[in-house]
Amino acid sequence: MQLINQHPVLAYSHGAKVKFTFDGNELEGFEGEPIAMALHANGVHVYRVTPEMKRPRGFFCAIGKCSSCFMVVDGVPNVRTCITPLKAGMKIETQHGKGAVPMEVA
């Protein structure tokens, strides 16, 4: 992971180091930090591909107002990873297309 450890103005504190998976690969991040930050620190820069134009999208607004960081998190599509806190054991996947909500018939 590559993170800024010291800054002349800002103080950094991290939660516990946790493991999560991204597209089947196990990575590490800090609990409570935005998922997008953990991915970026692990060298992941493409979070989804646009449905129509097939263009890669990554970290953009960082405040939850755009759709660039949409990913599938624990089976739920269209999760804004820039504002969603990381938790241990999360399964994060690149979103392809508009995302589909799995429907179960009882």
What is d(CA 17, CA 59) in angstroms, rounded to the nearest whole number? 22
What is the pLDDT confidence band of residue 2, given thresholds at 50, 70 and 90? low
> Longest C-alpha distance within the chain, in Å?
57
- pLDDT tens digits for 54-95? 888 887 888 888 888 899 999 999 999 999 999 999 999 998
What is the pLDDT confidence band of residue 14, given thresholds at 50, 70 and 90? confident
- E strands, the chain, are 17-22, 25-30, 48-49, 56-57, 70-73, 76-80, 91-93, 95-96
Q: Are 1 and 28 in contact (CB under 8 A)?
A: yes
The pTM for the full model equals 0.81
Please tell me the predicted confidence (pLDDT) of residue 1.
Answer: 63
Please tell me the predicted confidence (pLDDT) of residue 66.
Answer: 84
Look up tokens 């999760």; give the residue: 79
